[in-house]
Amino acid sequence: MISVILIFAIASLLCLSLMSLNAYSKEASAPEIIKPVSTRQGSLDITIDPRLELLAVLQYLSGSKMTIPDSEGYAESIDAWFADFKSHPALTRLQNLEKFGYRYDLPVSSFLCFDGVPLGKKTLSQCGYAKDMDEERLEKAAQGGSLEEFYASVNDFVHISDFGGWFESQRPFLEKTVSATASLLASKDDMIRLLINWYGYEHERYTLVLSILFEGGYGISLEDKQNKTLLYCVTMFYTSDKPSDILLNLAYMIFHEFSHPYVNPLVDKHFDMIKDRSELFEPIKTKMTMQAYSSWWIAVVEHFVRASETRLVQLFYPPETYKASTQWNINQGFIYLDTVFEAVLEYEQARGETGIRYDEYFPRLMQKFASIKELSPDELRDLIGFKGPINSVCMHPITLIYPDPKRVKGVNEFIIPTVDLLVKKWHVTAYTDTQALELDLSDQNIYAYGAWGSNLWLNKHLPHAPFQILEDRIIADKEYLGTNLRLASCLPNPLNPELGLAIYTAQNTPAMKGRFPIGPEDWYVYMTDPEPKLLGKGDYASKSGKWKF
């Protein structure tokens, strides 16, 4: 009896050993794919995708301008977990690829084509016009090194750094982020239904991909093995104390990025209608290039996308709640947007009367754009000139100027921490005022810091400001009495009125300490003592020639 039991036990152990070896062999040949953090809200899938978090980690560690550090501790967790892997070959390979154009949407769509992390099979592909365009871009990027070798080194990074372990350590935070986003979107009407009904036709799937470190957003269209089109809105995660502000940002991102897969192929198909009007690109070329829209084709695409985005936001929000307009985009250089927006409203009317779809109507939209007349020098000057608001100054290239600490007491304590933060977060270049006076900054958007009168560059180039900073008050739209007051304001760059100047100043240097909360207005006045408090904000009433309250 004992021998039978013993034989059975040995046989069982051998069986388990074989099973373990078999399992190990499978794991070694095909590591388990990391599961995304996902949920669904209405017609929209919401996810934080390991493929794009892997890309974000690589970009962040390599110093890429495609990511920005967050204030939630996410970037800190990356620095801590991957501290021993900052010299990994994958990071160097990425840097080399970026030099030849592996930036913006290209790596995003490339990583999404893989079936997961580790990067294995490619189960999705670019579709239509984008396939040829991206193949050409990838071929150019490959001048910086083999893409296959890069992906192989990425998988090595995933393995030796235990990327999966880091992602799992962040899962509770990521689940909270996805859940909060879904709850916000559930509080109002279904944005995707609105978008589908407005365009008049539907794609297979719509996925909102949140990425904590990405800067900006991307509208990606991919095709699966069954030739079904999958749409992705890949976007940074915007944080605010006000849920309504987060929802508004989501609305803009969703309507903008999901419009790209509708608009881009149509512009490409009908581009011959407007190709010979490239002289319209010349006046806006500087501002377009600053935003990575370096060709007439892309500028045309963005005009149509932004017209659609603006109209969809108008339809989503009741007028008494929020009034979306074309003005922000016109200030950003999209000076033909009013004409395109008018054409979009004509499409909307035709759709209501006849049921025509956006793609069927699109040649008429292109025809209207192509009929735009060249503007006079005075009209151009008025449209191209910087018009604010202050948060629109944050457009590369950016230079930050602060008082020389050797000359101005307190700069190291009250201003330099903010300067260091912005240099790291925005990838900007910072100079002391004495250094800046030796430079030509006519091609830069400028941030000027310092107590009023202490920044020599500002003293030279802005001798007469529309506001006054006095010892016991600030005079802006009215008098604000007090000490330790500060002001933030935008004006045109005095060296180039097409670009912006953001001024952060105060009655004294200690009052410069800490953040200046800003939004979509031109100016802000704050009290810093005994507690920080916003006293006033608004837009300049006149922006022709001298700006006035």
Of 30, 96, 31, 32, the C-alpha closest to 58 is 96
Q: What is the dihedral of CA 232, 235, 240, 242, to 10 degrees?
A: -20
For residue 257, give Cα distances in angstroms to 34, 140, 166, 470, 549: 26, 25, 29, 46, 36
Residues in the chain: 549
**Neighbouring-strand partners of residue 207:** 45, 232
Q: Could you give the angle at the alpha carbon of 47 between the alpha carbons of 46 and 53, nearest 5°?
A: 150
For residue 503, give Cα distances in angstroms to 251, 389, 411, 520, 539: 30, 12, 16, 15, 14
- Give φ, ψ of 417 to 5 degrees: -55, -40
Please give the chain's pLDDT, 549 residues, in tens. Answer: 333 333 333 343 334 333 333 333 334 445 789 999 999 998 999 999 999 999 999 999 999 999 988 878 899 999 999 999 999 999 999 999 999 999 999 999 999 999 999 999 999 999 888 888 899 999 999 999 999 999 999 999 999 999 999 999 999 999 999 999 999 999 999 999 999 999 999 999 999 999 999 988 999 999 999 999 999 999 988 888 889 999 999 999 999 999 999 999 999 999 999 999 999 999 999 999 989 899 999 999 999 999 999 999 999 999 888 989 998 899 899 999 999 999 999 999 999 999 999 999 999 999 999 999 988 888 888 888 999 999 889 888 999 999 999 999 999 999 999 999 999 888 899 999 999 999 999 999 999 999 999 999 999 999 999 999 999 999 999 999 999 999 999 999 999 999 999 999 999 999 999 888 888 899 999 999 878 899 999 999 989 888 999
Q: Is the bond leading into 118 cis (omega within 30 degrees of zero)? A: yes
The strand ranges marked E within 107-182 are 125-126
**Neighbouring-strand partners of residue 501:** 446, 491
For residue 250, give Cα distances in angstroms to 237, 303, 380: 9, 20, 32
Structure tokens at 186: 């559930």
Q: Which residues contact 148 (CB under 8 A, 6 or more apart)?
A: none
Distance CA 549, CA 543 (A): 9
Distance CA 156, CA 419 (A): 36
